[in-house]
């Protein structure tokens, strides 16, 4: 049976820890200039229905460093953009490529693609989940805090795909997460219910950013209006008043806390310039780790090695 990477809840804690360990090993090999062509001759189709900087570059560079090839496909470059059924594209693409990464809107699109694909499918982002990013974030936490265990994680902002995936990570990996979201902008109710059933009490929801950040080891935020929500920008700015991660709010966290942001950042909105450029920010390490964790996912799914 083909294994895919569509959401964290499809994996166990041990499997996620294994991916994080492998990402660290691959990063060290790259730093030392050790060749690691573990996917020599392999091709990854990269479908982008949403634009990207970090996802495209990290997957394409990652495939190159692994000895394979990444093939960029936008809506205008394929029949998907002209209405070809997902299942038809999936079955055909599976016969050309060794894996598929899809960055799209609905989670159901990625899941349907995987259902009809005979090769591994990786979720590069959907409106519901962003699993590659959260694993890159956890790799960054491990690098700076030695472990994610025993830490308090805080989320400040929209209950979006990042928030949903952090909720899954907390329930699976066993760390405490407090999310501050304005009323009406909470994370997905089904994801919250799943997490509470999986690991009761690990995830807490509040409308007060100060409560979420108090004593936190890791503080995380994201843009208030994700891709496809730009027309809601002004409305969201009003709803998210007081949710900017600035020096005053960060001061409630532990002095040695680390700050994460998946980028792109709207400085002065969800995060201040002084915080993203400050001593607690590890945002650039976080962005780099997209490359390493995605290489680990690619190797695990496409090399034929467990």
Q: Is 289 annotated as a binding residue?
A: no
Q: Is 85 annotated as a binding residue?
A: no
Cα gap 282→176, rounded to integer Å: 20
Residue 130 known to be catalytic: yes
Q: Is 262 annotated as a binding residue?
A: yes
Query: What dihedral do alpha carbons 256, 212, 277, 139 form, nearest 10°?
Result: 70
Q: Is 65 annotated as a binding residue?
A: no
Q: Is 172 annotated as a binding residue?
A: no
Residue 233 known to be catalytic: no
Sign of CA dihedral 99, 111, 125, 202: negative
Q: Is 132 annotated as a binding residue?
A: yes
Query: Of 4, 9, 103, 236, which is the active-site residue?
Result: 103
Q: Is 274 annotated as a binding residue?
A: no
Query: Of 4, 9, 56, 130, which is the active-site residue?
Result: 130
Residue 133 known to be catalytic: yes
Q: Is 55 annotated as a binding residue?
A: yes
Residue 262 known to be catalytic: yes
Region for 201 from its dihedrals, namely left if φ exceeds 0, alpha if ψ lies in -120 to 50, beta otherwise: left
Cα gap 192→13, rounded to integer Å: 18
CB neighbours of 156 closer than 8 A, spacing ≥ 6? 180, 209, 212, 213, 219, 220, 221, 243, 245, 249, 270
Cα gap 122→62, rounded to integer Å: 14
Task: Give the H/E segment covering residue 119.
Answer: none
Contact between residue 219 and residue 243 where contact means Cβ atoms under 8 Å apart: no
- Quick one: DSSP state of residue 246? -
Cα gap 16→12, rounded to integer Å: 6
Contact between residue 93 and residue 45 where contact means Cβ atoms under 8 Å apart: yes
Q: Is 244 annotated as a binding residue?
A: no
Query: Of 127, 217, 262, 294, which is the active-site residue?
Result: 262
Q: Is 131 annotated as a binding residue?
A: yes
Q: Is 226 annotated as a binding residue?
A: yes
Q: Is 51 annotated as a binding residue?
A: no
Q: What is the C-alpha R_g of the chain? A: 19
Query: Of 4, 188, 222, 294, which is the active-site residue?
Result: 222
Query: Of 202, 290, 292, 300, which is the active-site residue?
Result: 290
CB neighbours of 263 closer than 8 A, spacing ≥ 6? 53, 54, 283, 287
Residue 303, token pair as written in the block = 């090399």
Q: Is 257 annotated as a binding residue?
A: no
Residue set of the binding site for carbamoyl phosphate:
52-55, 79, 103, 130-133, 262-263, 290
Residue set of the binding site:
52-55, 79, 103, 130-133, 161, 222, 226-227, 262-263, 290
Residues annotated as catalytic (active site), given as ranges: 103, 130, 133, 222, 262, 290
Residue set of the binding site for L-ornithine:
161, 222, 226-227
């Amino acid at each position: 049976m083909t294994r895919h990477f569509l959401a964290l809840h499809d994996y166990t804690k041990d499997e996620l820890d294994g991916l994080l360990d492998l990402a660290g090993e691959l990063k060290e090999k790259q730093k030392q200039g050790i060749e690691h062509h573990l996917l020599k001759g392999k091709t990854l189709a990269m479908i982008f229905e949403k634009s990207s900087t970090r996802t495209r570059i990290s997957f394409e560079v990652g495939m190159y460093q692994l000895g394979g090839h990444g093939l960029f496909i936008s809506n205008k470059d394929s029949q998907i953009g002209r209405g070809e059924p997902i299942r038809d594209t999936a079955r055909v693409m599976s016969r050309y490529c060794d894996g598929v990464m899809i960055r799209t809107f609905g989670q159901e699109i990625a899941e349907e693609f995987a259902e009809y694909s005979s090769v591994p499918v990786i979720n590069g982002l959907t409106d519901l989940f962003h699993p590659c990013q959260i694993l890159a974030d956890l790799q960054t936490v491990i690098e700076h805090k030695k472990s994610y265990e025993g830490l308090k994680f805080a989320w400040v902002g929209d209950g979006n795909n990042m928030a949903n995936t952090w909720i899954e990570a907390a329930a699976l990996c066993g760390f405490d997460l407090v999310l501050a979201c304005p009323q009406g902008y909470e994370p997905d109710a089904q994801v919250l219910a799943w997490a509470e059933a999986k690991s009761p009490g690990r995830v807490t929801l509040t409308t007060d950013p100060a409560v979420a950040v108090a004593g936190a080891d890791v503080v995380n935020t994201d843009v208030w209006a994700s891709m496809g929500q730009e027309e809601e920008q002004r409305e969201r700015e009003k709803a998210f008043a007081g949710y900017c991660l600035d020096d005053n709010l960060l001061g409630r966290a532990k002095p040695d806390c680390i700050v994460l942001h998946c980028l792109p950042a709207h400085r002065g909105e969800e995060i201040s310039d002084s915080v993203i450029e400050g001593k607690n920010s590890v945002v650039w390490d976080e962005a780099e780790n997209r490359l390493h964790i995605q290489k680990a996912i690619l190797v695990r799914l496409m090399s034929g090695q467990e």
